[in-house]
Amino acid sequence: MFSTTTILLVVCLYMAVLFGIAQIVENRAESTGRKSIHPLFYVLSITVYATSWTFYGSVGFAAESGLLYLAIYIGAILAILTWWRTLRRMVHAKETYHISSIADFISARYNRSQAIAAMVTIIALLGIIPYIALQLKAVIGTYEIIAAPTDSEGYSSGFTGSLITLLMIIFTIMFGARRLDPTERHQGMMVVLAVQCLIKLVAFISVGAFVTYTLYDGMGDIFQRITWAGLGHLLGSSSHDGSLSVQWITLIILGAASIQCLPRQFHVAVVENSNERHIRLAMWLVPLYLLAISFFVIPITAGGLMQGLPVGEADSFVLRLPQLAGNQGLALFVFIGGFSAATGMIIISAMTLSTMATNHLLMIAIDRYKRLNVLRHYLLQCRWLMIALILSSSYWFAWEFSDSYMLAAMGMISFAAVFQFVPAMFGGLFWQRGNKVGAMLGLCAGFLLWFYTLVLPTFINQGWFNPDLLVSGPFQIAWLRPQELFGLDGLSTLSHSVFWSFVFNSLFYIVGSFSHRPAKLERTQLSDFMKSMRTSRHVHKARPTGLDAYIQLTPKLREAEHLLSDYLPLDKAEAAVARITEDLAVNYKEQITIIELVEFHRMLEHALAGAIGAASAHNAIENTIKYTEQETKDLKAVYSHILSELHGQGEANPAVVDPQLEEENRYSFIENLQKTIDEQTAELTEQKQALEKAIELRDRSDQKLFDQRLVNQKLIQEVKSLRHRLEREEDDGSVI
């Protein structure tokens, strides 16, 4: 065991090294201008999925249920194998819409709905904050194991937990929230995450190898001793609650959903992605990582049980086994590995949740209550405060419920919470009929069923409510019992909740989408969103105009700077507007066309979305940016002209276009126009490929001709040389 001072010094030194690594990476990125990191760092950062729940908890899971712990990893790996079709589409949409979080992504799919973004954020906060508390509990609990017992042990644990929480707040603010735009890639944080993920993997493999090849004589010896010791259940699987097969299916489904729907996983895999080709590397390297970190789970579990450690302490076998063997150095390294597993998740989760809470909860309050408008100038500081609140509340939760049933159950409760994003998220990816009404109804229904069938029974087991509710149901209605809803029994509480929440979520999503016809704006947004996921090219910086330039640019620039300055410092607002005008190629113009103005506002919204989220940015543009009467008239005229040309009515007067016909045909017009553009683009691509092939054939032919000329010249030289030799031989013969 180590003294409290030694452990604190090691932790502080380790955090200082991480600070140093992050600072070096950030400084190098700023000096070189590179906006991406090595793909290996990107891939390793995704393995933040393996938290302290994996590092310590998988052994405890195996001690009770055998190989059932593999179900989560199987589900995650199956999901990863689909990433080229799913994750790549999300990355494309992220580039187009400047998406900063999973709430931003789902809301962008449904017409940038602020209500949907807020609902996703609330579900994430309620599901993830207790999960962060679980990580803090792991750090505090392992500290108590490795530290030498003192008279003030309780004080030492509290002090250590507070210190670690403070360090997490500082680190997250410094390298995760230094800038307001969360879509700017955090290269320093990503490299630190990669380093932490590598350390926890090496630490876990080290203790596994120590148990297998030092305490015992290899895998064969361990498996033989498992049989002798009557621990055969470790080599099978069992469930103490409900059907085993249903439990396998449930955990596989949750594993597949969590690696894509957890806010931290979405951030590292989608928001921080700088090149879609990196996804291919992740598709085989991340599964290898998950297999590697789970390889020694059974040997460690068996080793702890055969050493006489109680099953109730199985979560700490990873740390206790080297400690009991007297290998204090390895025990300290394992502690650092578990610390890395926990703090990596804490840092990235706090950053993503603070972004979501600021953009989709605080911004709504600021827009609704004028007294809060002053906070627009302090959004970055609000995000810092949000990080501190999230981590402080998580630490309070861990401290208040450190020995309760509730905290131990929070891992699966959190996975089931983010599972509610699946219908709206993946339905939105592949089902064009889905709309914001269906998505909102599905999220609300799934959330209520999740709370009623999973969280409420946990509260009851905690002693907060009358247990008769589980036995008799509310108002003595037996078919409304939370754990046997509608008479469905024989399932574990987790499987029961996942089933009913998914059924109601999907049902309301589908029925709501079919029963509501979206407005033309939402249909247009849907077409743009689906297109953005089909192409890897970034959105064009400018679009063709075709109208006279008569709009004064300077007032429009001042209007844009005024809007951005409500959310950004003035210098950054001016720089953003200057960058937009440069990208649009109007920075030297005094007057612009109406279509250039529309494109300017579109790019302005794109820039603002990085600071406050796509939904809030869209709302700010609609409420702030105004068109004059002439500009509005010209926009309608341009649209009507294009519409009439598309329908072969070029002679028609745009001013007399039937408004009802315009309303009905606008969406089909956009789709037909986009189809034409796509067909022409494909044709140009084919012609370019044919031209490249012809050039390649010509080059090959030229090369063959060149090679043949060389051969001919060589033959000519050889013939000449042979002729000279023959002539010399004839001359020599005549002399003789």
Q: Which segment of 475-484, 638-647, 694-703 scores lowest on mean pLDDT?
A: 638-647
- Residue 736's pLDDT is 53
- What is the structure's pLDDT at 189? 84
Are 356 and 103 spatial neighbours (Cβ–Cβ below 8 Å)?
Answer: yes
305-309, 504-508, 590-594, 666-670: least confidently modelled range: 666-670
Percent with pLDDT over 90 in the chain: 28
Most confidently modeled range among 180-189, 351-360, 581-590: 351-360
Question: Is the per-residue pLDDT at 564 higher than 60?
Answer: yes
540 has pLDDT over 80 = no
Per-residue pLDDT at 605 exceeds 50: yes
If pLDDT is split at 50, 70 and 90, which confidence band does 719 have? confident
Look at the pTM and tell me if it is higher than 0.95.
Answer: no
Is residue 674 very low, low, confident or very high in pLDDT (cuts 50, 70, 90)? low
Q: What is the pLDDT of residue 150?
A: 54
Q: What is the mean pLDDT of residues 371-393?
A: 86
The answer to which of 338-352, 353-367, 468-482, 645-659 has the lowest mean pLDDT is 645-659
Residue 201's pLDDT band, with cuts at 50, 70 and 90, is: very high
Range of lowest pLDDT (8-22, 447-461, 693-707): 693-707
Averaged pLDDT, 650-675? 46
Out of 169-183, 212-226, 294-308, 341-355, pick the least confident. Answer: 169-183
Confidence of residue 625 (pLDDT cuts 50, 70, 90): confident
Q: How confident is the model at residue 548 (pLDDT cuts 50, 70, 90)?
A: low
Percentage above 70 pLDDT, the chain: 86
- Residue 544's pLDDT band, with cuts at 50, 70 and 90, is very low
Winning range, highest mean pLDDT, from 10-24, 190-204, 635-649: 190-204
Query: pLDDT higher for 52 or 585?
Result: 52
Determine the pLDDT at residue 650. Answer: 42
The confidence score (pLDDT) of residue 48 equals 93
pLDDT of residue 484: 85
Alpha carbon 214 to chain centroid distance?
Answer: 40
Q: What are phi and psi of 2, to 5 degrees?
A: -120, 155
Residue 673 has pLDDT above 60, yes or no: no
Structure confidence at residue 679 (pLDDT): 67
Q: What is the mean pLDDT of the chain?
A: 82
* Contact yes or no for 532/539 (Cβ under 8 A): yes
For residue 541, the model assigns a pLDDT of: 39
What does the H/E/C string look like for 35-53?
A: CCCCHHHHHHHHHHHCCHH
Give the residue-averaged pLDDT of 432-438: 89
Q: Strand pairing partners for 66? A: 237
Predicted pLDDT of residue 77:
95
pLDDT over 80 at 209, yes or no: yes
Of 662, 640, 659, nearest to 651 by C-alpha is 640
Backbone angles phi, psi at 626, to 5 degrees: -125, 145
Q: Can you list the alpha helix ranges (DSSP code H) found in 401-487? A: 405-418, 422-430, 436-450, 456-461, 468-472
Q: Over range 247-260, report the average pLDDT.
A: 93
Q: Give the number of other CB atoms < 10 A from CB of residue 291.
A: 12
d(C-alpha 141, C-alpha 145), whole Å: 7
> What is the per-residue pLDDT across 388-418, written as a single tens digit (0 to 9) for each?
999 998 888 877 766 655 545 677 888 999 9
CA distance 512 to 444: 12
- Going through 11-83 in order, the beta strands assigned E by DSSP cover none
The secondary structure of 245-269 as a DSSP string is HHHHHHHHHHHHHHHHHSHHHHIII
Cβ-proximal residues to 37 (8 Å cutoff; 6+ apart), any chain: 25, 185, 187, 190, 191, 274
In whole angstroms, what separates CA 43 from the centre of its chain? 12
pLDDT tens digits for 113-158? 889 999 999 999 999 988 898 888 888 888 888 876 654 444 456 6
Residue 664: pLDDT band (50, 70, 90) is very low
CA distance 35 to 565: 25
pLDDT at 657: 43
Residue 734 is predicted with a pLDDT of 60
177 three-state secondary structure: coil
Q: What is the pLDDT of residues 255-301, one digit of tens each?
A: 999 999 999 999 999 988 888 889 999 999 999 999 999 999 999 99
Cα–Cα distance measured from residue 669 to residue 675, given in angstroms and rounded to the nearest whole number = 10
Residue 659 is predicted with a pLDDT of 46
**Least trusted range by pLDDT, from 186-190, 264-268, 430-434, 544-548:** 544-548
Distance in angstroms between the alpha carbons of the first and the last residue of the chain:
107
How confident is the model at residue 735, as a pLDDT?
Answer: 55
